[in-house]
């Protein structure tokens, strides 16, 4: 099964369409959702069927993914050495705080979530591995900026578009830089309604084999504020355990 770069992108978009719609789709529905000519979709679907990633209902002529992609994804995820290493610490942090716990790292001028363990409470912050977040308004994003050398951070801030994600987003470069310096000194990076209006998050930096990662706890603002001392203590405890492992 061979794909060009463009076809690979379309294949990912196709699976995202199935995830979004949650139902078998006809060729014309796929073409409409992807805003792609039917002839192009036909060729893509044919390749994915041949590879065992899609099957067709013979009566309705609609397509749906098989579990082959799921099996591959699980196999890949299980072999990720960084996520596997962090997982017991993330679970420990989740049990201590009962909030959503996130592992993330820098990806170009954004942050990508590598693992997410959602809290057990009905009202909680929800996210997924693979989510992309801004540097200037997310807790792990601020961590990435704050842990940079001063000159590098100044260059990155100069080229970033500091969009106002919510009414609380800090978009003044000088104010953001001052906030980052204070957070760096404290060892904890906070956002309060800056990326999601009713969510507060706290993140700590962890360096593994020279690579910077962020470990964050996120939840509803009022609950996080009320329990912040306990959240901070749990974060620091896990951070120290991780640091000790690499000393």
List, in sequence order, every residue forming a beta bridge with 206; answer none if it has no partner.
Answer: 213
CATH tag, 80-245: 3.30.450.40
- CB–CB of 79/87 below 8 Å? no
Helix and strand totals (H; E) in the chain: 10, 8
For 76, list phi and psi in degrees, rounded to 5. -65, -45
- pTM higher than 0.85 for the full model? no
Residue ranges of the domains in the chain? Answer: 5-72, 80-245
Burial of 47 (0-12, 13-18, 19+ CB in 10 A): middle
- CB–CB of 93/87 below 8 Å? no
Helix or strand or coil: residue 205?
strand
Q: What is the pLDDT along the chain (247 residues), one digit of tens a residue?
A: 444 446 778 888 999 999 999 999 999 999 999 999 999 999 999 999 888 999 998 888 899 999 888 888 877 776 777 888 899 999 999 999 999 999 999 999 999 999 999 999 999 999 999 899 999 999 999 999 999 999 999 999 999 999 999 999 999 999 999 999 999 999 999 999 999 999 999 999 999 888 999 999 999 999 999 999 999 999 999 999 987 765 5
**Three-state secondary structure readout of 5-67:** HHHHHHHHHHHHHHHHHCCCECHHHHHHHHCCCHHHHHHHHHHHHHCCCEEECCCCCCEEECC
Domain 5-72, second-level architecture: Orthogonal Bundle (1.10)
Whole-number Å distance between alpha carbons of 208 and 40: 44
């Amino acid at each position: 099964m061979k794909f060009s770069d463009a076809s690979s992108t379309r294949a990912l978009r196709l699976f995202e369409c199935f995830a979004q719609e949650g139902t078998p789709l006809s060729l014309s529905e796929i073409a409409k959702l992807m805003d792609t000519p039917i002839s192009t979709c036909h060729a893509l679907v044919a390749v994915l069927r041949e590879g065992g990633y899609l099957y067709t209902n013979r009566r309705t002529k609609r397509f749906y993914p098989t579990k082959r992609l799921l099996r591959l994804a699980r196999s890949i995820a299980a072999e990720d050495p960084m996520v596997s290493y962090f997982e017991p610490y993330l679970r420990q942090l989740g049990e201590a705080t009962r909030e959503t716990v996130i592992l993330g790292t820098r990806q170009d001028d954004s942050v990508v979530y590598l693992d997410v363990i959602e809290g057990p409470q009905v009202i909680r912050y929800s996210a997924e591995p693979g989510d992309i977040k801004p540097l200037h308004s997310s807790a792990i994003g601020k961590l990435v900026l704050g842990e940079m050398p001063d000159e590098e951070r100044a260059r990155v801030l100069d080229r970033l578009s500091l969009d106002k994600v919510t009414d609380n987003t800090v978009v003044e470069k000088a104010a953001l830089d001052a906030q980052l310096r204070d957070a760096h000194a404290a060892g904890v990076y906070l956002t309060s309604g800056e990326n999601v209006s009713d969510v507060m998050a706290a993140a700590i930096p962890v360096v593994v084999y020279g690579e910077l990662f962020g470990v964050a706890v996120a939840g509803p603002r009022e609950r996080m504020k009320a329990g912040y001392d306990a959240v901070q203590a749990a974060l620091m405890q896990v951070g120290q355990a991780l640091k000790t492992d690499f000393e």
